[in-house]
Amino acid sequence: MRISKYHLLTLLLLLSFSVLNANSNNKKIAYIVSDTNIPFWNIMSRGVKNSAEVLGYEVEIYNSQNSIKTELENTIKVINENVSAIIISPNNSSSCVTVLKLAKKANIPVVISDIGADSQEYLSYISSNNKDGAYEIGKFLAKKISSLNIENPKVAIIAIPQKRLNGQERTAGFIKVMDEYSIKSANLKQQITFSKEETYNFTKELINENPELNAIWLQGSDKYQGALDAIYESGKKDKILLLTFDAEPEFLELITNNTLVASAMQQPFLMGEKAVVFLDKYFHKEKVEKNYKLPVLAISKENIEDNLALIKRNVFGIDDQTNKKIQSNEY
């Protein structure tokens, strides 16, 4: 039986597709994440899963529960399981060095998704542009303070650990814009437990230490209610402005009704997707960027409506119609 050139080409294409799928399906990716109980990391985990499903990879999530010891145990476990690649969102930049050393010894490629590492021994580091995001949200605050005619304004910070590269970048960007607008930076307190109680206590301390305080910036978002509770209980509801880095779904309402001034929104769902896409490129011997930064969406009441579709999908991963597609736009 003669086979036409058209049918032969079709068969070859189908065979090539089957081979690529077979190669993907034979590979297992481990995602070691600092703490899936924190919404940000949970959303990123879903982005990793979504991208792996679309591209045909098996993926397993390993929760380090905010523990460096557990992170190391997870690393040893996945290496012993002979995974094809590791994606890691480490507890901090210094602890990641050990993970990278162990993975390199086992010849396993590693993509770092956020936080960073005090080492260059990785395939790719995907991060948010923390410095620019913090700078832009600082401008929103400066303009708000100016509109309220506040004299000699003071702003305090409840920061994520400053051992993390992302924490250092956020602080640097925010302080830069505060200096440009001659806004005094009051105390900075670093989170340890990331609990609501800790956020509440830090906020109360900042208010007591700075009676003329005008604003508080949270470098994280999930325990924002602790800050709001402390502000309200101190009788400062209309005197202290609150803004955050990162976001929760309810922020869509809280920003609109002026409970929050603004939020610098990372794109964790998109970041998780990108980590798997970069590994897929590596497996197919394509070029992978060593360092890749995603923009942070600086969102206030003025621009939230225009960015709503982007926020729902890339920030919260809640747009069901697009979740089964890998975001192709280069944001």
Digitized pLDDT (tens) for each residue of the chain, 331 residues in all:
444 444 444 444 444 444 444 445 589 999 999 999 988 999 999 999 999 999 999 999 999 999 999 999 999 999 999 999 999 999 989 999 999 999 999 999 999 999 989 999 999 999 999 999 999 999 999 999 999 999 999 999 999 999 888 899 999 999 999 999 999 999 999 999 889 999 999 999 999 999 999 999 999 888 999 999 999 999 999 999 999 999 999 999 999 999 999 999 999 999 999 999 999 999 999 999 999 999 999 999 999 999 999 999 999 998 655 455 555 444 3
Structure tokens at 76: 């040893």
pLDDT for 99-144, tens place per residue? 999 999 999 999 999 998 999 999 999 999 999 999 999 999 999 9
* Contact partners, residue 2, CB within 8 Å, separation at least 6: none
Tokens standing for residue 78: 């996945």
Find all residues with CB under 8 Å of 165, minimum gap 6, and list them. 93, 115, 116, 117, 127
Please give the CATH architecture assigned to the domain spanning 130-265: 3-Layer(aba) Sandwich (3.40)
Q: What is the DSSP letter of 109?
A: -
Task: Tell me what pLDDT residue 24 has.
Answer: 52
CATH of 5-128+268-294, one of 3.10.580.10, 3.40.50.2300, 3.20.20.70, 3.30.420.40: 3.40.50.2300
Query: Which residues have C-beta within 8 Å of that of residue 230, sequence separation ≥ 6?
Result: 199, 200, 201, 203, 204, 207
Given CA atoms 301, 302, 305, 306 in this order, what sign does their dihedral have?
Answer: negative
Contact 92, 115 (CB under 8 A): yes
What are 323's strand-pairing partners? none
Q: What is the pLDDT of residue 318?
A: 85
Dist. CA 207–CA 214, nearest whole Å: 9
What's this model's pTM, rounded to 2 decimal places? 0.82
- Asked whether the domain spanning 130-265 has the same topology as the one spanning 5-128+268-294, the reply is yes
3 state DSSP class of 212: coil
Long-range contacts of 206-213 (CB under 8 A, 24+ apart): 206/156, 206/158, 207/231, 207/234, 207/236, 207/240, 210/154, 210/156, 210/186, 212/152, 212/154, 213/154, 213/155, 213/156, 213/186, 213/240
Q: Tell me which residue has tokens 């929050």.
A: 260
Going from N- to C-terminal start, the domains of the chain cover 5-128+268-294, 130-265
Sequence-ordered list of residues with C-beta below 8 angstroms from that of 60, at least 6 positions apart, any chain:
28, 29, 30, 31, 78
Q: Which are the contacts of 155, defined by CB distance < 8 A and separation ≥ 6? A: 141, 178, 183, 184, 185, 186, 213, 214, 215, 216, 217
pLDDT at 306: 97
297, exposed or middle or buried, with CB in 10 Å at 0-12, 13-18, 19+?
buried
